[in-house]
Structures are given as structure tokens and as C-alpha cells.
């Protein structure tokens, strides 16, 4: 009897952990977007799931992970062209942006390995796709499987709208605008206008994507605009420190930020020695994986060089992409690449100079290192704004920076204990979670696999148009009724006055006669 029970338990466990074939596509050419979800692929592969990963940045070898390299997409963003587009005028941004979208789809869909996969008869049980480029969700229709949308930060408004989440522009403005918590009338007007423009642009981009998918995959594929509403789950890696909490539907799973954070690793010996010997403290300077120091002007680089020299005996560790730096001061060490999170964990690192990338700032918060933020584009403005508001860092504009403002900001962060105290508090809050983001992501992934989707969790708010969501039809009806009532009262009073005038006129005539 015991043997039968044991076999039954083993059978149930094996059935529960049955491996699945999972397709993953993260097409955006940003290393941070790829690195954010790598822990999830590792964890799913440990549980026996077979993963086919289409990525711009290959990860380490894994027997359960097959990788397809689409790193040629980086051709679109080389020489900081993306920054130039995003910082240009609106007309230039739309024109060059649409051209980039065309090339982007062409680069990926004509990749030989991607074409071979699409043409194959391979079956998948689940599809993961980055919702920054949601049009690729049509591949779920091609492979006839449910799909989960990935977001390395808070999803854009059209994704929230597609699943029925709150998108009120006065409460949840577009992150790239960099607005604070309480919006002025001007900011609310801008936020609302941006929502309308983005909704309009969405209608332009969708047909472009459909054209490419029907050309390179299957002419009979459904519209991407409709497929996006079939998403089983939306994984949002939105850190509440940077993104305001909002009402969300059951299929939106907030992983809480910091998904990419890993256990500490030992630093290379020379780097460990350099930081150990930084008894007067060390400043760590990195502009992330997308922006590099070559984007800075010669004048700006010279400002940093002179400032760092004057801060001696403090040491500086700079992720600098060139081999050498002219007149490099003795207290400055430059490296092309650094294990950032483990550097930030070192107790001698006192300040982190950053462009304000979300993953970089989460690593600094986890390590409780105050920051000096210099945003360039995208969500960086929003992140650095929150840093300044919550007083765990200082914001500077790289376009107007000078030696005095830079040096004063660094010394303020080093000498004023307020910044260290605030970031230690935020670090403690971010770590106080009932379960890790990875544990949550794995559980919900297998939930979709067990039930073949989440149609039963879909909110009716996802299927109503914006005019109903914002009560615009109700408001219009009430205004119309109010106007009609006013007109009725006006004409009734006018009619009564006319009647009285006629009556009194007749009486006067009778009296006169």
C-alpha cells in the first residue's frame, strides 16, 4: 500500500512539473531589458522547461535554453542615433522613428534563424514577448499558444488600457515626461495631450507592423491590435519607488522591480584591491549600457576629469569606453566594463553618478548608495526626478553642468547624512517582500501553462472604449440635458412674458375704450 501511495505521489509531482516548450522574444536592443528577465529563464530551465530565446544579447550556455541571436538589431542604435531621435523635434522624431520601425521589423523577420523557426512545425505551449514592441504578440497566433507580456518597467498606457488598468493622465502621466507627484494644470494638459497623441500614433504603427508580419510570416494572421487584447498575463517589473501604485486587473502581475538583482559575487582581485584601498571613499561613475562616455562632449569630459582630480584623496572608478583618458589624474581608474552591482555593494563606494536607468538605480538602492543623476532620455527623467523628490540623490542637467555644480553636488552627497539615511530606508522597504519577483513570475507562468490561458481573469474594463472609461458619453448626456433644461426654462419664461404682455396690452386697450 505504501509503495502504491509513493508511486502515486511521484506521478502527481511529475505531472505537476511537466516540462513545457516556451518561446521567448525580447527584441529591443537594450542590454538592460535582456538582463532583467534572465533570472526567470534560468529558473524556468531549472524546473525542466525548454526555452527558445530570441535575444539581442546571448546569455551563458544552458542545456534547456536554445538561443537565437538577433544582435544585428543593434545596428539601428549605434552611434547614439536613438538618443538623437528622442531628443530631436517632434516632426523629426516621428519621421525617423517610423523609418526605424520599418527597419526594425525587417531586421528581425528576415533573420535566417528566425525565418527557419517560423517556417518550422515546432509547437510551443507558451510565448513570452516584450510589450515595449507589442506587435510581435501576433506570433502567439502563428504558434497557436497563450502568451505573457513582459515589461522591464511600468507598461506604457496602451498596454494598461488593453487589459483594463487605470490610465488616467492626471494621476499616471507618461513616465518619460518626468513630472512629479502632483501635476499642475499645464502638466495635466500636456499629459492628456500626450495620451491622445500616443493613441493616435498607435493607430499608425499597428498597420505598419501588420504589413511586415503578413509579408514575412502569414498573410492570414489577425491584426496585432486585436491580438494584444488576448494577452494571458502582463508581467510588470514596476518598482513602486519610481512608479505610482495604480488599480490593476488580475492579469497584471507586478513583480515589484529589481527582478535582475543577483546574489553577490566576488570582485576581480585588482578591482577588490582598488576599492579596499579607497579609505577616503570612492565615487562610481557609469552611464549604463546604452549611453557611453563617447556621447559626452570633450568639454564635459574635461569638467569631469578636473572635478575628479580636485576631489583627491577620494578615488573615482569610471566606466569609460575609450582605452585612455588624456591627463588622467592619479585618483581615477577607468574600465570599459564593470560588475556594477558588486561594485556598488562595496562599503567604500559613497556616490554613484548615473544616467538614471531603472536597473542601475535599483542596484544602487539595493546597495544603499546615494546617487547623482544626469538623465538623457526616456524614463531616466522620471527616475531622476523621483530621486530628487525623495532626497536619496541629486539631479543635474548634463547640458548645463559645470565644475562647481558637479563638485558641490558630489560633496553634498558625501557630507550630508540625509541622503544616505533616505536611501537606506528605501533599500529596507524594497527588500521587505512576501516573496521574490522571480518566485511570483515562475508561479504565474506555470499557472498559465496549467490552465492554457487566463480568460477567466479578464476584466470587463478592458473591453470598453476610452469615452466610456472616462464617462465622456455620460458627461456629454448630462451637459446636453442641462442645456436643454436651460433652453426650456428660457423659452418658457419668454413665452410667459409674451403672454403677460399680450394680456396686459388687451386690458389696457379695454380700459382705454
SS3 per residue for 475-507: HHHHHHHHHHHHHHHHHHHHHHHHHHHHHHHHH
Q: What gap in Å lies between CA 286 and CA 405, rounded to an integer?
A: 18
Do 250 and 340 lie in one domain? The reply is no
Q: Is residue 378 part of a domain?
A: yes
> What per-residue confidence (pLDDT) applies to 172?
82
Do 129 and 182 lie in one domain? The reply is yes
Cell of 99: 523609418
Do 322 and 424 lie in one domain? The reply is yes
Q: Is residue 341 part of a domain?
A: yes
Q: Are 372 and 410 in contact (CB under 8 A)?
A: yes
* C-alpha distance from residue 42 to each of 124, 263, 308 (Å): 18, 14, 40
> What per-residue confidence (pLDDT) applies to 239?
83
What is the pLDDT of the chain when averaged over all its residues? 86
Do 359 and 251 lie in one domain? The reply is no
Do 396 and 476 lie in one domain? The reply is no
Strand pairing report for 332-335 and 315-319:
parallel
> What per-residue confidence (pLDDT) applies to 6?
44
Q: Is residue 261 part of a domain?
A: no
Do 422 and 482 lie in one domain? The reply is no
Rounded (5°) CA angle 456-459-462: 130
Q: How many CB atoms lie within 10 A of CB 277?
A: 11
> What per-residue confidence (pLDDT) applies to 483?
95
Q: What gap in Å lies between CA 289 and CA 81, rounded to an integer?
A: 15
Do 275 and 418 lie in one domain? The reply is yes
Q: Is residue 279 part of a domain?
A: yes
> What per-residue confidence (pLDDT) applies to 95?
64
Do 171 and 313 lie in one domain? The reply is no
* C-alpha distance from residue 224 to each of 105, 117, 140, 207, 232 (Å): 13, 20, 10, 8, 15
> What per-residue confidence (pLDDT) applies to 502?
81
> What per-residue confidence (pLDDT) applies to 12?
46
Cell of 368: 544603499
Q: Is residue 91 part of a domain?
A: yes
> What per-residue confidence (pLDDT) applies to 443?
96
Alpha helices (H) along 87-243: 90-109, 112-119, 139-142, 157-163, 185-216, 224-227
Provide the domain limits for residue 492: 471-502
CATH of the domain at 405: 3.40.50.2000
Do 195 and 49 lie in one domain? The reply is yes
Q: What gap in Å lies between CA 28 and CA 71, rounded to an integer?
A: 10
> What per-residue confidence (pLDDT) applies to 16?
45
Do 340 and 283 lie in one domain? The reply is yes
> What per-residue confidence (pLDDT) applies to 3?
52
**Which segments in the chain show pLDDT lower than 70?**
1-17, 78-98, 181, 219, 508-513
Q: Is residue 113 part of a domain?
A: yes
Do 93 and 164 lie in one domain? The reply is yes
Q: What gap in Å lies between CA 58 and CA 481, rounded to an integer?
A: 62
Q: Is residue 146 part of a domain?
A: yes
Specify the residue for cell string 504558434: 143
Helix (H) or strand (E) holding 437: helix 437-451
Alpha helices (H) along 368-471: 380-389, 403-415, 417-431, 437-451, 466-469
Structural domains counted in the chain: 3
Cell of 282: 570612492
Q: Is residue 264 part of a domain?
A: no
Do 77 and 194 lie in one domain? The reply is yes
Amino acid at each position: 500500500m505504501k509503495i502504491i501511495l509513493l508511486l502515486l505521489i511521484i506521478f502527481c509531482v511529475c505531472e505537476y512539473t511537466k516540462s513545457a516548450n516556451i518561446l521567448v522574444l525580447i527584441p529591443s536592443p537594450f542590454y538592460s531589458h535582456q538582463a532583467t528577465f534572465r533570472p526567470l529563464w534560468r529558473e524556468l530551465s531549472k524546473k525542466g522547461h525548454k526555452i527558445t530565446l530570441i535575444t539581442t544579447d546571448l546569455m551563458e550556455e544552458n542545456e534547456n535554453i536554445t538561443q537565437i541571436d538577433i544582435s544585428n538589431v543593434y545596428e539601428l542604435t549605434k552611434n547614439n542615433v536613438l538618443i538623437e531621435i528622442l531628443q530631436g523635434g517632434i516632426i523629426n522624431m516621428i519621421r525617423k522613428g517610423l523609418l526605424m520601425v520599418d527597419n526594425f521589423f525587417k531586421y528581425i523577420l528576415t533573420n535566417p534563424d528566425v525565418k527557419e523557426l517560423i517556417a518550422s512545425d515546432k509547437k510551443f505551449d507558451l510565448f513570452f514577448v516584450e510589450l515595449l514592441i507589442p506587435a510581435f504578440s501576433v506570433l502567439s497566433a502563428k504558434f497557436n499558444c497563450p502568451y505573457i507580456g513582459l515589461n522591464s518597467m511600468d507598461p506604457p498606457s496602451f498596454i494598461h488600457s488593453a487589459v483594463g488598468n487605470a490610465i488616467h493622465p492626471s494621476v499616471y502621466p507618461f513616465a518619460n515626461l518626468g513630472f512629479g507627484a502632483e501635476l499642475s494644470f499645464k502638466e495635466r494638459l500636456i499629459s492628456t495631450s500626450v495620451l491622445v497623441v500616443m493613441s493616435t500614433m498607435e493607430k499608425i504603427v499597428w498597420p505598419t507592423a501588420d504589413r511586415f508580419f503578413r509579408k514575412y510570416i502569414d498573410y492570414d494572421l489577425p491584426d496585432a491590435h486585436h491580438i494584444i487584447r488576448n494577452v494571458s498575463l502582463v508581467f510588470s517589473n514596476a518598482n513602486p519607488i519610481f512608479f505610482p501604485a495604480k488599480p490593476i486587473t488580475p492579469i497584471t502581475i507586478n513583480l515589484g522591480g529589481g527582478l535582475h538583482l543577483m546574489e553577490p559575487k566576488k570582485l576581480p582581485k585588482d578591482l577588490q584591491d582598488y576599492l579596499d584601498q579607497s579609505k577616503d571613499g570612492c565615487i562610481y561613475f557609469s552611464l549604463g549600457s546604452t549611453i557611453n562616455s563617447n556621447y559626452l562632449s570633450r568639454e564635459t569630459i574635461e569638467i569631469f576629469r578636473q572635478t575628479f582630480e580636485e576631489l583627491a584623496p577620494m578615488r573615482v572608478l569610471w566606466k569609460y569606453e575609450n582605452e585612455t583618458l588624456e591627463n588622467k589624474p592619479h585618483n581615477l581608474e577607468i574600465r570599459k566594463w564593470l560588475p556594477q552591482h558588486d561594485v556598488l555593494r562595496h562599503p567604500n563606494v559613497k556616490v554613484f553618478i548615473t544616467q538614471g536607468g531603472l536597473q542601475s538605480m535599483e542596484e544602487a538602492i539595493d546597495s544603499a548608495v546615494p546617487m547623482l543623476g544626469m538623465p538623457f532620455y526616456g524614463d531616466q527623467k522620471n527616475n531622476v526626478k523621483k530621486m530628487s523628490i525623495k532626497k536619496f540623490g541629486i539631479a543635474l542637467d548634463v547640458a548645463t553642468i559645470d565644475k562647481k555644480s558637479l563638485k558641490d553636488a558630489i560633496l553634498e552627497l558625501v557630507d550630508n547624512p540625509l541622503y544616505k539615511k533616505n536611501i537606506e530606508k528605501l533599500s529596507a522597504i524594497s527588500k521587505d517582500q512576501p516573496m521574490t519577483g522571480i518566485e511570483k513570475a515562475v508561479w504565474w507562468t506555470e499557472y498559465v501553462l496549467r490552465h492554457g490561458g487566463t480568460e477567466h481573469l479578464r476584466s470587463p474594463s478592458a473591453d470598453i472604449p476610452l469615452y466610456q472609461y472616462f464617462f465622456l458619453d455620460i458627461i456629454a448626456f448630462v451637459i446636453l440635458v442641462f442645456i436643454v433644461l436651460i433652453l426650456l426654462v428660457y423659452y418658457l419664461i419668454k413665452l410667459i412674458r409674451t403672454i403677460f404682455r399680450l394680456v396686459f396690452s388687451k386690458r389696457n386697450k379695454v380700459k382705454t375704450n
